[in-house]
Structure 1
Amino acid sequence: MSSPLPASTGATSVPALRRAVAILDHLAGTSDAPSMAEIARALGLPKSTAHGLILAMEEIGLVKRMPGAGFRIGTHPLRWAAGFLSQTDLVTSFNTYFARERDLARFTVTMTVLEGAEVIYIACAPADQPLGVTFRIGMRLPAPFTATGLALLAARSDDEVCRRLEQGFPAPLTENSLRSLPDLLAEVERTRARGFSIDDGQVRQGMICLGTVLRNHADEVVAGIALSLTRPEATPEVIEALGATLVAAGRDISGQLGHDPTA
């Protein structure tokens, strides 16, 4: 659910741009096709402001008018997504590696980047056997609940983890989801000690995910990768073996990105 726009900060703020992005974020987060009035109400915008922005956004293809006077995201943002994916070595390295290496072919493997307190899915190598879960490119999930998110947070300091969650802890997705910042910090510490993260049914009941990070030439953590398996498959021995295999894959992909662990 969208929240009203925060107060503008800084003299360089551009209110119209902020509002347009908020409208796109709102439309991306709903399966409905809300009307102008509903968008304005959800974001706390004056109706006249929302009306002018949405008409301009419709004209350039950022939003699309649906039957019944509702709106959804248009096709223009797809150009930006395609541009981002084509300009990053992350997706190319991920796809190249998992097309060649088949050790994890029976598992769905995903890649995300961290943005604030969420992860954004930017690549997926589907399993040979269907998992029953669809990971859509561009999908966002709370970082504390996902294997990639936990791995990415564990690679940062506790202070940074706290800053990323200072706006509040996300609502749980399942009964297994973490419930508080202290719970998250404890799980982050377990992830560091173990060497890889475990999402034990936090996103979907009955699904276990293991995660690790990717680093670039400057030793910066740039993305996370995770594999997914079902609970019946996830014996302690299997988790330990798959975790080691995933960490090795992460090292190999990081090497493709120019990372040198000995430097």
Structure 2
Amino acid sequence: MENKYWVPAIERADAVLRLIAEHPGGLRLIDLSRQTDINKSSMFSLLNTLEKLNWIRRDKDDTFRLGSALGSIAGGYFKSNDLISSFHQEASQTKVKLGETIQLAELIGSEVLYLAKEEYPGPVRLTSEPGMRLPAHSTALGKVLLADLPDERIAELFATEPFRSSTPNTISDRRSLARELNRVRELGYGEDLEEAVQGFHCIAAPIVRQGKVVSAVSCSMLKHHWEAKRSFVLTELRMLASRLSAP
């Protein structure tokens, strides 16, 4: 990005933090240096600064993980987001009606960022949590959010084929993705049939504010519940999305 006010040091710190976030098991200095192309001397100084600020922590095995300061910052963001607050209030009732977990997400580039989750207690628990990212093309949430973008932007985001696959059912090429997004635009909702996680189906509906899709809500369920619950879930999910959308 060309900008005379751009601060390269912050860009490097951002790259390091994002990389550590993608590896919960931790990464060593040499791993971070190799994957970011930042030399070891600069990486040492960067990690030392981030550690002193509690943005990261160093474990006994000399691996680095995210630190407590980021948790506080994230907590402040979630508390200040009125959509997240409204989601918890509204979705807490919807999850009881459906007997399923409800999630909220937004689009960040070619990925969905999970913002909030209202979990229904059950024998099987979804692994996705607020703060996690997943490829947009493999999720119902992502399809709904991508469907609001112009074709030119979709082409930019998915320039490289094949796409990353989570299961054998994941869409892996632009032509298939274009067909699926056209279907989402026609129907007004998106589906994921074992494309993100095997054994699970998911349905998602858009949240529209000021004429633009800003986020989406979804409901995931075990595959064998799909036929019996799909219609009811879709109705309730659309009602939830409507309540969360601005008038």
TM range (shorter): over 0.9
Higher normalized helix content (fraction of residues) = 2
Note if 1:157 corresponds to 2:150: yes
Aligned-residue offset at 1:167: 5.8
Does 90-99 or 160-169 show the bigger shift?
A: 160-169
Aligned-residue offset at 1:101: 4.2
Q: Tell me what 2:31 maps to.
A: 38
Per-residue displacement from partner, 1:103-127 (whole Å, max 9, x unpaired)?
Answer: 6440111000111000111111112
Note if 1:63 corresponds to 2:56: yes
> What TM-score do the two structures reach when normalised by structure 2?
0.93
Give the direction of change, closer, same or farther, for the CA distance of 1:49–1:102 in structure 2 (3 Å limit). closer
Aligned-residue offset at 1:102: 5.4
* Alignment partners' CA distance in 2, 1:123 and 1:184: 26
Number of aligned residue pairs: 247
Q: Tell me what 1:249 maps to.
A: 240
Pairing 1:151-230 to 2, within 5 Å after superposition: 151-166=144-159, 170-216=163-209, 218-230=210-222
Give the SS at the match of 1:94. Answer: helix
Gaps of 5+ in 2: none
Give the SS at the match of 1:71. Answer: strand
Residues 105 and 128 in structure 1, CA contact (< 8 A), matched pair in contact too? no
Q: Percent identity?
A: 25
Give the direction of change, closer, same or farther, for the CA distance of 1:170–1:25 in structure 2 (3 Å limit). farther
* Alignment partners' CA distance in 2, 1:48 and 1:15: 16
Residues 142 and 170 in structure 1, CA contact (< 8 A), matched pair in contact too? no
Give the direction of change, closer, same or farther, for the CA distance of 1:39–1:170 in structure 2 (3 Å limit). same
Q: Counterpart of 2:166 in structure 1: which amino acid?
A: L
Aligned-residue offset at 1:90: 1.0
Gaps of 5+ in 1: 1-7
* Alignment partners' CA distance in 1, 2:6 and 2:206: 34
